[in-house]
Chain A
């Protein structure tokens, strides 16, 4: 039963990253690649009707995590206290930037909220990569000092950075060279992803330029992916051990590779949706590869004293998990139904939606 909920949770998290990921990416595009007012409007129109529904996935992920793996929820959320609260602040800043910009027609006002929206989006993309890096690297569970736990075996607290930026140092921090590297991968990935969404949902002159940007950025991304994959080994030895025993898991890295390499044909795609599908595939594939390589660990321990947090030792008791399946299936069907309806109502280009004018 806990495996079912693990798959559900990871799938929902992947959906969240793909959906809110394009919101963040669009924010980065807005910050760096838009020149005119018309182009800025195109970006906000492309995400305007969707962003808060996308953030609902974050709430849903949090809820399901709380329900299915309460101890992990408690441990991780209190351990990553500072970065998590800062993510919340950034989400708020991003939202007000987006919602407030069009409310008053004044150059300074618009510039201020443009920057708030763009910078918050950039930092969020960076933070999400950093978060993934932290989970991969693992933490000092139980806050072991000199071989003795100073806290219960599943609790920890992480400073924002350690002075040496070394992921293997005794004194860990949220920010080290490995997590920052993954953060940069996330920023480039989501920039491409967001640009693809803007191309899909709007039809201004910006799109031709964005195709060019995607093409160039994809080389950077390929380099970064190769770099981080080769350095992964130093932080987490033998990352592919699960894939060696379960061949079907190779479907995920292959998906990631197709998503990444396919993007190089961006200038030739006939349909505006194709690029978005490739970047979504890359995100899903690389995320699933990471999860599959860690399984059954949810949060690895970096000391020899306390065990890693795993799917088995973190799961809520059986009765609750079983009864949850009933309501979850009903809810999931409803969510799919809403999504289909929403997709049909808001099909096509959003150039005329007038987001922020009301």
Chain B
């Protein structure tokens, strides 16, 4: 039983982590592509049009990767989490089916037109197709996070005698207090990934003295989008999301922050340190007194409940993992704000393109927004453990009853091998598009 749960969890965690490397870029990037195309329509400067088409190539590659790694996600609810699907399908099936019907059709239909249809459609309609792709991809994120929010904070349901969850209020799925903060927080995170990506490719062009016009354009656009999104991800959206956790999952909040004891007179915020689960304390701790109380309740002496206040059976299954995921996300988020504030300042002073060291930094930042987004999702998911549906259904009660651990391990190994290959090929192709540069035409005839 234990290894069945382990392999099912590992497979889902591995495939979703890999899958979400792609949508997190495409959601943010689609907005930036629409922005470039819109600038082109306003200014008639061809560079903006080239920029939008260049990023569309990267988008299309990411989208294809997202589709092929996304189909396994939907299937795995049934293959590996059959009991969970059976019991909750009448609720979360709504939002998952809506995602397929509303967003994927929209995205896939108009993406083809955006890539192949510029000449056929003219620039205004071409812009419109780009806009529809953007709407589709953001709607997809919304419906997935509506599903996620229901698992974190179930609403609009009743439970039958046979244990099945039955929907009794459709609109509650969308007025779920968990939904909007998580969604906006996640979209801001996605925009960070795309802004840093665009800025990094721009910095690469500037540093290697190629396509310098585009290098400047990409750095400038990436930095401005990056500044806005890295601020929004922390405040107000991150703040809202954290307050939801305090309110609805206080034990998770204590574990995230690494608070073991309830302190009288205000809680400190822990910046670094390692959780010691045997002695219930943080080793090598660096902390600032009273800040956590203030951030959470706007009062310096507000009480924050520590983990020891809760029965051990209610603790998140992996407290250190949760604590690290959260601290990595917050730590990186802080660094993002610092870099983008500095870069915006230099941009405003007209010195950014000459500040080589900062361009180097921007270029090497590419992986970090991915790490931060992934860590953020691990915070949410580990924070929900040991529950599948918070407070109502345990992880162990959700797995497929007839799939043996040997079969689950077999497919897990298969996915690991296949995705490693997929990842390598993806990097190769992105490198190829970047090397060709934004002025390479889309070949329509050989």
Contacts and interface: CB of A to CB of B under 8 A. Distances in A.
B71 A58 contact: yes
Contacts of B39: none
Nearest to B168: A319
Contact of B86 (A74, A103, A156, A327): A74
Contact of A66 (B89, B404, B418): B89
Interface in B147-181: 166-168, 170
B106 A334 contact: yes
Interface in A300-340: 316-317, 319-320, 323-324, 327-328, 331-332, 334-335, 338-339
A316 B407 contact: no
A212 to B, nearest CB: 27
Nearest to B419: A92
B1 to A, nearest CB: 15
Contacts of A68: 93, 97
B101 A332 contact: yes
Interface string B430-442: 0010000000001
Nearest to B96: A63
Contact of B442 (A59, A323, A345, A358): A358
Nearest to A79: B402
A342 interface: yes
A157 B88 CA distance: 21
B106 A352 contact: no
B93 A77 contact: no
B94 interface: yes
A345 B117 contact: yes
B360 interface: no
Contacts of B101: 60, 63-64, 327-328, 331-332, 335
B432 A63 contact: no
Given A49-B112, A324-B97, A345-B113, A78 B80 contact: yes
Interface in A100-153: 100, 103-104, 143, 151-152
Interface stretch (B62-70, B221-229, B372-380): B62-70
Contact of B445 (A50, A342, A352): A352
B100 interface: yes
Interface stretch (A83-91, A195-203, A281-289): A83-91
B71 A88 contact: yes
A200 to B, nearest CB: 17
B402 A157 contact: yes
A76 B113 CA distance: 36
A23 B168 CA distance: 41
B10 interface: no
B67 A52 contact: yes
B295 interface: no
Given A66-B96, A77-B82, A358-B443, A56 B112 contact: no
B82 A78 contact: yes
A231 interface: no
Interface in B364-414: 400-404, 407, 410-411, 414
Interface string B31-73: 0000000000000000000000000010011011001111110
A70 interface: yes
19 contacts: A55-B71, A62-B100, A63-B97, A67-B89, A70-B85, A70-B86, A71-B86, A73-B89, A73-B93, A78-B79, A78-B82, A82-B407, A89-B418, A92-B422, A320-B170, A334-B105, A341-B109, A352-B444, A358-B60
The 10 closest A-B pairs by CB, nearest first: A70-B89, A77-B78, A67-B93, A63-B97, A63-B100, A78-B400, A78-B82, A157-B402, A331-B101, A67-B97
Interface of B: 57, 60-61, 63-64, 67-72, 74-75, 77-80, 82-83, 85-86, 88-91, 93-94, 96-102, 104-106, 108-113, 115-117, 120-121, 166-168, 170, 400-404, 407, 410-411, 414, 418, 422, 425, 428-429, 432, 442-446
